[in-house]
Amino acid sequence: MKNKGGGGRRNKSARNEAAAGGRRRRNKSAHNGATAGDGDRLSKLPNDILLNILERVDTLDAIRTCILSKQMLNLPTMLSQFFLSAGSVPGHHDKARVLNRGEVFRTNNAVARVTDSILCTRNPKIAITKLKIRFVLMPHVSLTIGRSVAHAMATQKVGAAEFEIITEKAYTDCSPADLVQFANQLNNFVGAFPDVFAGLRRLWLRNMRFAELDIANILSTCKLLASLRLTECDSGIDSVLQVEHAQLVELEVDYGEFARVELTCLSKLQRVSYNNWYSYEDPLYFGFVPQLSKLSLTKTGVRWEKTLELSQLLANVPNISNLHLDFQSEKIWVLLECPKLLTPVLGKLQHVNLDNLPEGCDLAWTMFILEAAPTLEELCVAVRDHWCIMLTDEEAWKKNGYCEKADVNWKPCAPDFKHKNLVELTIYGFQPDDSFMRYIRCVVDHTVNVTEISLYDRKVCGSRGNLDPEIKVKVCPSRYP
């Protein structure tokens, strides 16, 4: 009986193993079929759908994808949008990954080769609607890219062309001689391919120190330029940048050593952004800028620098509708002026964003904007001690003229004034304490038509987990309900 039972169990076990083996074979066959089906499903999509997908990613990645399928090998020649990138070398406060020198050469050369290959072999009947190339400024690479783009512009229709030109070294690793050398390399590049720069719509330059007239000459060459961004660029310490251009719509200046940027004649300029200037006077002068409607200013305020008077700064800019002021969690660097002075320049203001206000300070001072901007519809206030960008060394903090936290005193010019157009108040960094509640009541008491008040916790920074443990202790825990 035992032997019979044992044999029955063995036979049952064998049958189970055979059944399991059959299931495994069927599952494996089904899995292989699904995989093959998935591959066929992608390669058999219509070309217009595949092109739509490929034009949404980096062109180098799109080409690598096409190499995997015979049916897709010809698609790169049919693309109408190109984004070719050699990676990024960070500037003063850029958090991008630093490429080592070997990676820079390899990726930069790859971008040059692919640019040349695609632009010289593609179907000339298909217009290029967008061409964006980010590359490191190196003579041989610039020459290849310049020739390729020049050929494309001469033989086919090219719409929005854009260069983002970075340098081998980050700004913090550059000597003054390095900055001058990079500017000279760019001047040579522009001089070698004036037709290419004449067709650019967007240009972003980093880490360069130009001669006095160089930037003006570059702008005169870039006749169609609509957007210019200068990061860590200048013409020497305390230099003055004068900007004139018939087509420029957007100007961004990040850091640099300019004493002042003078926007003398820009009939189409609509947006200006200035990030951390180094000047004891007004950083901007506005001449003829009739269409300017959006202004963004970011500054870490220190004791000895001038407090901006918006009534003077914006005296020639009566059409500002969108104002963004970022205080970098430090000193409030705008003067609280009376409505009589401010309303002429803020009379058309509709949207205001006050960013990175220091924690623990009274927010009532922001009401001076409500008093002076009768058409304001949206007010956004963000309160945060942004430790990832704040200077934390106490000695360096004092040496650089940083200020202790202090309330900015405000009293309404007309205690019973009523604002009739504000409909939305948004607060980031809200905490359930008397200071915030007083501020909300103050806004409500002085407005008539507010329909939405949105309260959020502090904005979250992805780098916060990397903070020094001593700094983490200073970060007040959130009590957001």
Tell me what pLDDT residue 60 has.
Answer: 82
Asked if residue 385 is part of any domain, the answer here is yes
pLDDT at 367: 95
HSE of 23, CA atoms in CB hemisphere, 13 A: 6
Tokens of 287: 């001449």
Predicted confidence at residue 163, as pLDDT, reads 97
DSSP strand pairing (294-298 vs 351-357)? unpaired
pTM of the predicted protein model: 0.83
**Residue 10's pLDDT is what?**
44
What is residue 450's predicted lDDT score, i.e. its pLDDT?
A: 95
Question: Quick check: is 241 in a domain?
Answer: no
Give 120's DSSP letter: H
Q: Does 230 reside within a domain? A: no
Domain encompassing residue 457: 299-481
**Mean pLDDT, each 10-residue run in order, the chain (481 residues):** 42 49 48 47 78 84 80 81 73 48 78 86 84 92 93 90 93 94 97 97 97 96 98 94 97 94 97 92 95 96 84 94 94 93 96 94 94 97 80 65 74 88 97 94 95 92 58 71 83
Write out the two tokens for 293: 């409607």
Q: What is the pLDDT of residue 4?
A: 40
* DSSP letter for each residue of 103-116: HHHHHHHHHHHHHH
Give the residue among 196, 308, 324, 160 at the shortest CA–CA distance from 252: 324
- Decide: residue 228, CB within 10 A, 0-12 exposed, 13-18 middle, 19+ buried: buried
Q: Is residue 223 part of a domain?
A: no
Count the helices and strands in the chain (H runs, E runs).
Answer: 14, 16
Could you tell me if residue 414 is inside a domain? yes
Q: Which residues of 359-396 are buried (b: 16+ CB within 10 A; e: fewer)?
A: beebbbbbbbbbbbbbebebbbbbbbbbbeebeeeeee
Q: At which residue do the structure tokens 């190109």 appear?
A: 82
Instruction: Please indicate, yes or no, if residue 36 is contained in any of the structural domains.
Output: no
Output the pLDDT for position 5.
43
Q: Does residue 221 lie within any of the structural domains?
A: no
What is the per-residue pLDDT for 106? Answer: 81
Q: Name the nearest CA neighbour of 164 among 179, 186, 191, 143.
A: 186
- Count of the separate structural domains present in the chain: 1
* Residue 38 included in any domain: no
CA quadruple 140, 113, 199, 127: dihedral, nearest 10: 170
Nearest to 422 by CA among 406, 403, 405, 442: 442
What is the model's pLDDT at position 393?
A: 63
